[in-house]
């Protein structure tokens, strides 16, 4: 039963090998592969297939180059595309070097067979999708964090602020987050004295005076604290 469809960018200058890959993948029972074959790197990059493919299978021995040079060229042009490489050597050091330069996996041509190929490409494409989703999630979180109307911060167990948003920096009188961090701003009270939240928290303004806030602070597994604060308006003076 077909559970998924994977668009594969195949860069292989040997037509017989490309036909063998096509045959093996056509027999896959778990995933339907749609092949986009190019016999050299230049044609693959000019085609625009990098944008619509889920994973690439790259022969590291092409007429126009070989080895890390080809991998780096593909990664440079398509940095988000997962790449599985085809090698002619079983040397572990060389394979680890490929992984260190961005390949998801590497396969030895002389040991290649259909089941291994399909599984490796499926895993690489799946990891690529998960990494893409994680990047999207991180971007959404960063937008929420940076644009939040509450002052948000993360500090160590010593109270030293390690990360904050613009609103938190503004509350303490700093023009930017980097300025706040370089000044060594601190949060001296890291938990509610009464156990009730939000609780009154006094922060020190860069000019030395006290900023009164209401805070919620939680502890992370690594001992760091994260918190949100809102300024408390001073109570109006009673008329005589």
21: nearest Cα among 110, 120, 112, 122: 112
Look at residue 78 and tell me whether its pLDDT is greater than 70.
yes
Q: In this predicted model, what pLDDT tens digit does every residue of 132-179 receive, in sequence order?
A: 999 999 999 999 999 999 999 999 999 999 999 999 999 999 999 999
Mean pLDDT computed over 115-130: 93
Mean pLDDT computed over 68-82: 93
pLDDT band at 239; cut points 50, 70, 90: low
Task: Identify the residue with better confidence: 88 or 86.
Answer: 86
5: nearest Cα among 27, 35, 32: 32
Same fold, 5-143 and 148-231: no
| Per-position DSSP letters for the chain, written without gaps between them | ----EEEEEEE-S-HHHHHHHHHHHHT-SS-EEEEEEESSHHHHHHHTGGGT-SEEEEESEETTEETHHHHHHHHHH-TTS-EEEEES---HHHHHHHHHTT-SEEEEGGG--HHHHHHHHHHHHHHHHHHHHHHHHHHHHHHHHHH-SSEEEEE-TT-BEEEE-HHHHHHTT-SSHHHHHHTT-B-S--S-TTS-SSEEEEEE-TTS-EEEEEEEEEE-TTS-EEEEEEE-PPPPPPP-
Tell me the C-alpha distance between 137 and 46, whole Å: 31
- What's the CATH fold of domain 5-143? Rossmann fold (3.40.50)
- What's the CATH fold of domain 148-231? Beta-Lactamase (3.30.450)
- pLDDT reported for residue 194: 79
Tell me the whole-structure pTM to 2 decimals.
0.74
Across all residues in the chain, what is the average pLDDT? Answer: 90
Look at residue 117 and tell me whether its pLDDT is greater than 80.
yes
pLDDT band at 1; cut points 50, 70, 90: very low
Tell me the C-alpha distance between 25 and 166, whole Å: 51
Contacts of 229 (CB under 8 A, 6+ apart): 150, 151, 153, 168, 171, 201, 203, 213, 214, 215
Mean pLDDT computed over 120-128: 94
Domain parsing of the chain, residue ranges: 5-143, 148-231
pLDDT band at 100; cut points 50, 70, 90: confident
Mean pLDDT computed over 40-58: 94
């Amino acid at each position: 039963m077909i559970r998924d469809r994977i668009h594969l960018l195949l860069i292989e200058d040997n037509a017989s090998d490309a036909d063998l890959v096509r045959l093996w993948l056509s027999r896959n029972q778990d995933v339907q592969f749609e092949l986009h074959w190019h016999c050299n790197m230049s044609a693959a990059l000019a085609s625009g297939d990098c944008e619509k493919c889920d994973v690439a299978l790259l022969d590291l021995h092409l007429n126009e180059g070989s080895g890390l040079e080809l991998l780096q060229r593909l990664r440079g042009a398509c940095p988000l595309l997962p790449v599985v490489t085809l090698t002619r050597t079983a040397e572990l050091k060389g394979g680890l070097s490929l992984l260190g330069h961005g390949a998801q996996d590497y396969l030895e041509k002389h040991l290649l067979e259909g089941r291994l190929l399909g599984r490796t490409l499926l895993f690489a494409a799946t990891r690529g999708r998960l990494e893409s989703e994680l990047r999207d999630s991180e971007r959404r979180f960063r937008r929420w964090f940076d644009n939040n109307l509450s002052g948000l911060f993360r500090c160590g167990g010593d109270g030293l602020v390690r990360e904050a948003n613009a609103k938190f920096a503004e509350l303490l009188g700093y023009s930017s987050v980097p300025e706040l961090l370089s000044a060594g701003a601190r949060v001296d009270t890291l938990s509610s004295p009464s156990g009730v939240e939000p609780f009154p928290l006094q922060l020190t303004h860069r000019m030395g005076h006290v900023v009164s806030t209401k805070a919620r602070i939680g502890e992370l597994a690594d001992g760091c604290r994260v918190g949100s604060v809102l300024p408390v308006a001073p109570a109006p003076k009673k008329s005589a």
